Structure 1
Amino acid sequence: MQTSSNAALPPAILFDLDDTLITAPLHPRAAWQQAIETLPDRPDPFDALAAAVAIHEAARWFWSDPVRHREGRMDIRRARLGIVDRGLRHLGISDAALTERLSDHFTVRRTEETALYPDAVDTLLGLAERGVRLGLITNGSAEAQRAKIVRFDLARHFVHIQIEGELGVGKPEEQAYAHALARLGTTAAETWIVGDNIDWEVVVPQRLGFHAIWRDPVGNGLPAGTTAKPDRIITRLAELLED
């Protein structure tokens, strides 16, 4: 499904951060396999593919629950340690030292791989030049998310930056969107929101009156079984500047 819009740009746009403006290109399962294969002093024999599959499945289980998700994103290291431990135990491996080394190694590699989407900065600059007030609204811990914003020099593009760990509330809590709108000085009806999470950037925002744009960078289309209907779907951020 691909929809388009010829409407004029709005007074304000709220952007998500992870997998919207920045991303790590490797699929998580492939990233885990590479991390295992490059882990110093990896136990031998150790089936990297089987371990990657088990850890990936453990991660899918962990992040599928909203309560675990909120707790985990506020302490990503603790969450990742639990995920690795669960995955390795599924293979009959119980080794706290290995779990810690692998989890931290994965984090270092994943951080190094993370980058801005190629058209992110030009799109933000183009929108600002057209008079659009830009906001950033991201979930996660203050330390982790602020570090990304600093690393990619993103603060200069936004009139408001909102991090769950700093504010104390995050998406999909209605208070989070209301706070962002108050800072932007616009109403939901005057504001677009752009992001990759169906619930956080489409379902709840639409209920609140936003124009919801779903970011689908891979071009796979909406997840099977979803009833959500984004107002627009984009694969490239630069599409926001196109009529």
Structure 2
Amino acid sequence: MTALPRAILFDLDDTIISAGPRGLLLRTLAEEIAHLLPMPPDEAARRLEAANRDFWSDETRHRTWRFRLEEARTAIVERVFESWRPQAPGLTPDVARQFGARFHRLREENACFPGAVETIDELKARGVLLALVTNGAAEAQRAKVARFDLARRFDHVQIEGEAGFGKPEERAYRHALEALGVQPHEAWMVGDNLEWEVAAPQRLGIFGIWHDHLGEGLPPGSTVRPDRIIRALPELLD
């Protein structure tokens, strides 16, 4: 059995809650407009997913656009559809905006991962101090916290849009640690982003746990080495 730490910092999106794999949502939407596409829906979804990864991989762009998610997701679709329009004139700007808006709504229709809330409750019952550390706009993220009744489960809730800073800024982790009254070596950080929830916390001496909820394993060539990899939050109790 793994000895539990004094404190655990949790990410929110795609760690505690999820709308499901982005690629699956894109494929579902692409199938609905298959008659307009210049390629099979599976290939269209793959290219849209690649465009999403490319867009969000830039740290500066991510910092700017994560407060305007619907605009960002729609802009990505508009750019891809524009490149396809010479072969597929039916992919009008209007269709792109509708597709982007629908994709955004589906991504925001979150549900908790199985066993996530129960794991958090059990950790709290065992005396572990808990912090929720999430990036994003204050209103949107606070609504998710309220919807899933998470605030009472955590000793500290830290939302980027409210705090004025977020991951992977060093002070985001230090602030959470100070709020819990613990040192870096006494804490774990759990999340799905290899840079924000593993590499950056590790540089401060925090134990970094990667939530590989898709079961894909580390990306080829990844220089980040998590201290631990889990597929689901209940594994934290093992």
Fold similarity call, TM over 0.5: yes
Unpaired runs of 5+ residues, structure 1, are: 1-5
| Deviations 1:113-169, CA, capped at 9 Å, x for gaps | x21111101100110000011100011111221121122121121011111111111
Aligned to 2:5: 10
2:34, 2:124 → 1: CA distance? 52
What SS is found at the alignment partner of 1:74? coil
Aligned to 2:153: 157
Q: What pairs up with 1:1-243 in 2 under 5 angstroms?
A: 6-25=1-20, 27-38=21-32, 44-47=35-38, 49=41, 50-92=43-85, 95-112=92-109, 114-242=110-238
2:53, 2:83 → 1: CA distance? 14
1:111, 1:203 → 2: CA distance? 27
Unpaired runs of 5+ residues, structure 2, are: none
What RMSD over aligned residues (CA atoms) do the two structures have, in Å? 1.9
Structure 1 ranges of 4+ moved more than 4 A:
none
2:228, 2:2 → 1: CA distance? 11
1:227, 1:123 → 2: CA distance? 29
1:54, 1:226 → 2: CA distance? 22
1:158, 1:174 → 2: CA distance? 21
Q: Percent of aligned positions with the same letter in both sequences?
A: 49
Q: TM-score, normalised by structure 1?
A: 0.88
What SS is found at the alignment partner of 2:66? helix
Aligned to 1:3: none
| Aligned-pair CA distance for 1:213 | 1.1
| Aligned-pair CA distance for 1:191 | 0.9
CA contact (8 A) 2:69 2:104 kept: no
2:58, 2:214 → 1: CA distance? 24
1:16, 1:69 → 2: CA distance? 16
| Aligned-pair CA distance for 1:240 | 1.2
CA contact (8 A) 1:29 1:56 kept: yes
CA contact (8 A) 1:54 1:88 kept: no
- Tell me the amino acid that sits aligned with residue 200 of structure 1: W
| Aligned-pair CA distance for 1:207 | 0.9
What SS is found at the alignment partner of 1:90? helix
CA contact (8 A) 2:141 2:159 kept: yes
Q: TM-score, normalised by structure 2?
A: 0.90
Compared with structure 1, are the counterparts of its residues 216 and 57 closer, same or farther at alpha carbon in structure 2 (3 Å cutoff)?
A: closer
Compared with structure 1, are the counterparts of its residues 127 and 37 closer, same or farther at alpha carbon in structure 2 (3 Å cutoff)?
A: same
1:22, 1:127 → 2: CA distance? 17
CA contact (8 A) 1:10 1:192 kept: yes
CA contact (8 A) 1:51 1:88 kept: no
1:123, 1:98 → 2: CA distance? 42
CA contact (8 A) 1:141 1:165 kept: yes
2:207, 2:46 → 1: CA distance? 37
